[in-house]
Copies of this chain bind each other. A is one copy, B any other.
């Protein structure tokens, strides 16, 4: 286990109707608020009105930054930063999923940072030292960004998708009402669920030894997501099923299950190159990349991938043929993705081999290796993308 500091002061408010108290929560921080809205459905289904009236009751003035797109863009963040400065905003409130949240967090940091906010993305040498407080009303359980210290943005000029890390951008509160996911299109539910599982796998595939408790906690969360993911497609308006996914997404990225271990995150970085070019949903990209990634890297530490297959998918173990156990695990993972109606190959998503080399090259920009536990070079990434065709 690695030495660590765990400190996540974010407040989780979980349950039916929690959003009715949002004015009271925000009022503790500021009276002038920027609302970052994740999709048109928020205004169409009455949610926006409920939030607005709670804010008004608490004496809060608010401004909207609307039409945030999936794989959120630097341009909208810059627009939000301008709005905050113009209107003397003291709090940024995201309503939506990961895209709205990451936009809000980036704005919150951007208002207070020196120079261009993009310069703080994809680097471990330049750090945010302050940010506006922000909060979240979550409509899609997926990224866990509502409790994390990370934001992911795409720079539309360069096509680069990069991450910002800072404890200053952990949302002060996150409201999680599982009912809000009832009306999600099945494809979005599926992509969100696959994203939760992907975060758990990124943390699980570590090169840190002696992390048995967090191994088992991660397995517990993976089994839950794999169980409830398909059920959420079958019974979209069942509270109990949605609640499990909301809670799983949240706990996955609050840092606790990852304490004391180094995650990999290589698959995420490779996927970012796919969704950077093709505008495919992040979850769908992960369903394509992860099986290919495991096929390529498992030989570097067979025992870890055997444990994954055994404990998460209950695959039988035969000491002399570890690769059989691992292969059965990969098959079961692909089966899960197919149950979620997602592609497991680039070709199924209409993507050919035209940009494999470009994506591999771009993944290496600004880094000496992709993936922390199983470091990859450009040729490795190219081979993984080929395996994913």
Are A216 and B223 in touch, CB under 8 angstroms?
Answer: yes
Most chain B CB within a 10 A radius of its CB, from A212, A213, A256: A213
Q: How far is the CB of A233 from chain B (nearest CB, A)?
A: 17
A11–B3 contact, CB under 8 A? no
Beta-carbon contacts under 8 Å, A1-56 to B: 1-16, 18
- A247: interface (CB < 8 Å): yes
Closest chain-B Cβ to A338's Cβ sits at a distance in Å of 23
Task: Give the interface residue-count category, chain A.
Answer: 35 or more
Min Cβ gap A176→B in Å is: 10
Q: Is A67 an interface residue (CB 8 A)?
A: no
A102 CA / B278 CA spacing, docked (Å): 56
Indicate if A333 sits at the interface (CB-CB under 8 A): no
With A14-B3, A260-B14: A217-B212 Cβ-Cβ less than 8 Å: no
Contact between chains at B3 and A210 (CB < 8 Å): no
Does B9 contact A240, Cβ atoms closer than 8 Å? no
Given B4, B12, B216, B223, which contacts A5 in the complex, CB threshold below 8 Å?
B12
Q: Which partner residue on chain B sits nearest A217 by CB separation?
A: B220
A15 touches B4 (CB 8 A): yes
Number of this chain's copies in the assembly equals: 2
Q: Is A385 an interface residue (CB 8 A)?
A: no
Pick the contact of A216 from B11, B213, B221, B256 — CB < 8 Å? B221
- Interchain CA distance A9-B223 in the complex, whole Å: 28
Give the interface centre of A2, A9, A227, A256 by most chain B CB atoms within 10 Å. A256
The CA of A216 and the CA of B6, in the complex, are separated in Å by: 22
**Does A113 have its Cβ within 8 Å of any Cβ on chain B?**
no
CA distance A44 to B2 in the complex (A): 29
Contact of B9 with A247 in the complex, beta carbons under 8 Å: no
- CB A96 to nearest CB in B, in angstroms, measures 21
Are A244 and B212 in touch, CB under 8 angstroms? yes
Residue A377, interface by CB 8 Å: no
A interface list, Cβ under 8 A from B: 1-16, 18, 209-210, 212-214, 216-217, 219-221, 223-224, 227-228, 240, 243-244, 247-248, 251, 254, 256, 259-260
Across the A-B interface, the 6 shortest Cβ-Cβ residue pairs: A3-B15, A216-B220, A9-B9, A210-B240, A7-B11, A220-B220
What are 7 A-to-B residue pairs whose CB atoms are below 8 Å?
A1-B240, A2-B15, A4-B15, A213-B247, A214-B247, A219-B220, A247-B259
